[in-house]
Amino acid sequence: MALRAVGTTYPNPPVGAIIVKNGTILSRGWTQPGGTPHAEIHAINQIKNKKNIEGAHLYCTLEPCSHYGKTSPCVNKIIELKFSKVIISQLDKNPLVKSKSVKKLRTAGIKVVIKNFGEQVKILNKVFFDSLIDNKPLITLKIASTADGKIATNSHQSKWITNSISRMVGHKFRSLNECMIIGTDTIRKDNPLLDCRLDGLNNRSPDLFVLDRKLTLRKNLKIFSIKNRKIYIFYSDKVKKKIFKLKNIKYIKINEVNNLLNMKSVIKEISKLKYTRILVEGGAKLSASLLNNDLIDEIVWFRASKIMGSDGINAISNLRIDNIDNLKKFKLISTKTLDNDQLSVYKKN
C-alpha cells in the first residue's frame, strides 16, 4: 500500500494502512497525493458504516500522527472509532510524533504492537527520516548509455540510445520522484519536456530544479510550457541580471565553488522545501559534480547493447581521480534485462 504512494506524498512520507477485523481485510489505505488524507484516514474513509470498525485492528507502516498539521491527528480518529489494536512497523522519528502517538493510543486503552513488516518498509521510512531529520533527500541518478558508457554522439545525438521499454521505465522513475535537478547543458541541447509520459501517470511529472548559473535560459523552452508543476531556478549569487517572471517559477540564489554552483547548497535548498526524492537525469557535468560531493545515493543505469567508441560523450564528466583506489564505489543492487537493454541499480557503498 505504501509503495503505491511513493513520489506523490511530498512533503509527507508514503504510508500504507490496512484495517482487519476477525481475520478479514475491511479496507486498504495509502497516503493520498500531496500527503493528505493520511493512509489511516484513507483506509477508514472507505468503510461506509463506521460502527463496523469497533474492535478492528489497524496495521500501519509508520506510527500514526498525533499532532495538528494540515490534518487533525489520526490517533484521535483511531480512538474515536474504537479500534482495539494498532500494529505499527516503525515508530516515527519526527520529534512531533515519536512515541507520543503510541502513548496516547495506549492511554486510551488501545493495544499497540511494534512489529517490523520487513526491509521494504524500513527503506521507505528511511527516505523520509533522512530528509526530515538530516536534511538529506534521496538522490537518484538516472543514466541511459551505450555499453561503453556514452550518452550521446559528439554531435549530441542521443535519440535513441536505449530502447522504448527502457524509456518507459525511465518515465516510471520520474513518477516515483517528487522533483528533478537538471543542468542547462541538457536543456539547451535537448530542449526536453521532462514530464512523465506514461498513460495514467501524466499528472506525476516531477517538479523541476534547474541549475542556470548565469541565467541564460529562454522563456520559450519546453520545460516552461507545463503549467501544473513548480519550477525553481538556481542561479549564482554573483550574477546580476534581470529574472523573467512566470507564474510557476521561483528563483533561488546559490553560492559558487570553483565557478560552479555549490551542490551542497543546492541540495540544502531543495531539502528546505521538504522534497524527499530527487531524480537527476544529467548531464554529465551535473552528475560528476554530485558524485564528487558524494551526494548520489542511487544510480539507475540503462545500458543499450551498442558501442559508440571514445569520441562519444561520457555519462560522467571528469572526476579528477588520480588513483584507482579513489574510484567512486557503489553496490550493485539488482540487474534486469529490458529486451536488449540492461537496467542495473547501484546504491552508495
Which residues would be at the binding site for a copy of itself (CB under 8 A)?
A: 145-150, 153, 155, 157-161, 284, 288, 291, 299, 301, 303-312, 314-324, 327-332, 335, 337, 340-342, 344, 346
Please tell me which residue in 40, 63, 178, 281 is annotated as part of the active site.
Answer: 40
**Taking the mean position of all CA atoms in its chain, how far away is CA 145?**
22
Amino acid at 337: T
C-alpha cell at position 309: 567508441
The whole-angstrom separation of Cα 8 and Cα 11 is 9
Report whether 244 contacts 219 (CB < 8 A): yes
Least Å from the CB of residue 347 to a copy of itself: 9
Pairing state of beta strands 341-348 and 16-21?
A: unpaired
Q: Determine how many CB atoms are found less than 10 A away from the CB of residue 113.
A: 11
Least Å from the CB of residue 159 to a copy of itself: 7
Least Å from the CB of residue 289 to a copy of itself: 11
C-alpha cell at position 240: 546580476
First to last CA, the chain: 29
Least Å from the CB of residue 336 to a copy of itself: 9
Pairing state of beta strands 341-348 and 277-280?
A: unpaired
Least Å from the CB of residue 73 to a copy of itself: 44
Nearer to a copy of itself, 106 or 156 (CB): 156
The whole-angstrom separation of Cα 147 and Cα 47 is 52
Tell me the three state secondary structure of residue 312: coil
Least Å from the CB of residue 291 to a copy of itself: 6
Q: What DSSP character marks residue 244?
A: P
Pairing state of beta strands 341-348 and 179-183?
A: unpaired
Among residues 70, 78, 58, the alpha carbon closest in space to that of 34 is found at 70
Least Å from the CB of residue 334 to a copy of itself: 9
C-alpha cell at position 163: 530502447
Nearer to a copy of itself, 232 or 301 (CB): 301
Angle at 123 between CA 120 and CA 129, to 5 degrees: 145
Among residues 120, 232, 124, the alpha carbon closest in space to that of 182 is found at 232
| 40: annotated active-site residue | yes
Q: Cα–Cα distances in Å, from 348 out to 136, 140, 196, 328? A: 14, 10, 26, 9
Nearer to a copy of itself, 99 or 335 (CB): 335
Torsion angle of alpha carbons 188, 190, 193, 195, nearest 10°? -120
Q: What are phi and psi of 292, to 5 degrees?
A: -65, -20
Q: Active-site residue numbers?
A: 40
